[in-house]
């Protein structure tokens, strides 16, 4: 329907190897963007870059550790050397831990602050800096979570860092606006990704779906559609906003994550 909306644009997706990140890379390519697929896993990243090249004008894999500024800078440089100045950047990388607050260790805290905030600081600073230097505007989309919208028992620091992501989106929108750069976010609800496949067993899925007004978990492609909209000129007068894509679950009072069972007992990165 809107194929060609991103013709000539150059995009970078951090955490493109699978799940929502992969869906974002493909969605941007389908609308005409050339995409740098940044991931820490070579096999996954190369596979997604090949898929992107099949549906769009170009895809290239950049192996990078999002906590290593030099490798992120190299990935941004790869966009320039292959396709031209960066127009769009999406950061999907994240990690969650399911644990009682009193059981959290210093290491747990550091891990979540690093992968949810420090890496976003590095990725956004490198990408936005490049956009400012190019002087042609741009769009940055940060993936937060509905966890950041309210109290989340047993996911205290994941929720806190995701709330911080939404706050950072608002501040960066104000700072980057004079450069013609829009900064927005997407807050996914529970989404079917490889890392959360354990939630799809029949009994758990039935119980969970009953708590969502639309009656099901989300798909990566549905999150990617929101990201692509924000990245495109269809959202040309939107900045500083976080779109909630959760099937309506966040608008219900009294729903607690810990009522759903052992959600997110494993950390996830880039889904």
Q: Which residues are catalytic?
A: 158
What is the distance in angstroms between the CA of the first residue and the CA of the last residue of the chain?
26
CB neighbourhood size of 230 (10 A): 25
CA distance 6 to 100: 44
Q: Catalogue the long-range contacts made by 195-202 (C-beta closer than 8 Å, 24 or more residues apart).
A: 195/19, 195/266, 195/268, 195/269, 195/271, 196/264, 196/268, 196/271, 198/265, 199/263
57: Cβ contacts below 8 Å, ≥ 6 apart: 7, 29, 32, 33, 34
Q: How many residues does the chain have?
A: 271
CA 192, 200, 18: angle at the middle one, nearest 5? 30
Residue 62 parent element (H or E): strand 59-63
As to burial, measured by CB atoms within 10 angstroms (0-12 exposed, 13-18 middle, 19+ buried), residue 164 is: middle
CA distance 9 to 2: 14
Token pair for 90: 């999406």
Order of all β-strands in the sheet with 10-14: 59-63, 34-39, 10-14, 88-91, 138-143, 181-188, 242-245
């Amino acid at each position: 329907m809107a194929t060609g909306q991103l013709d000539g644009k150059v995009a970078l997706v951090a955490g493109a190897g699978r799940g929502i990140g992969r869906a974002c890379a493909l969605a941007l390519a389908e609308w005409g963007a050339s995409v740098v697929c940044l991931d820490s896993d070579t096999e996954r990243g190369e596979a997604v870059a090949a898929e992107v090249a099949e549906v769009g004008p170009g895809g290239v894999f950049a192996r990078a550790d999002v906590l290593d500024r030099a490798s992120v800078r190299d990935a941004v440089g790869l966009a320039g050397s292959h396709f031209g100045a960066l127009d769009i950047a999406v950061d999907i990388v994240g990690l969650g831990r399911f644990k009682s607050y009193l059981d959290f260790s210093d290491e747990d805290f550091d891990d979540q602050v690093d992968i949810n905030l420090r890496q976003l600081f590095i990725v956004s600073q490198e990408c936005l800096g490049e956009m400012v230097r190019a002087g042609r505007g741009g769009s940055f989309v940060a993936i937060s979570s509905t966890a950041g919208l309210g109290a989340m028992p047993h996911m205290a620091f994941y929720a806190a860092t995701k709330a911080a992501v939404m706050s950072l989106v608002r501040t960066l929108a104000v700072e980057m606006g004079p450069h013609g750069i829009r900064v927005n976010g997407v807050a996914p609800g529970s989404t079917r990704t490889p890392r959360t496949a354990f939630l799809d067993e029949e009994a758990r899925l039935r119980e969970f779906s009953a708590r969502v007004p639309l009656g099901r978990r989300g798909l990566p492609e549905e999150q990617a559609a929101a990201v692509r909209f924000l990245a495109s000129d269809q959202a040309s007068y939107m900045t500083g906003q976080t779109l909630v894509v959760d099937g309506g679950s966040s608008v219900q009072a009294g729903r607690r994550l810990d009522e759903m069972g052992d959600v997110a007992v494993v950390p996830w990165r880039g889904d």
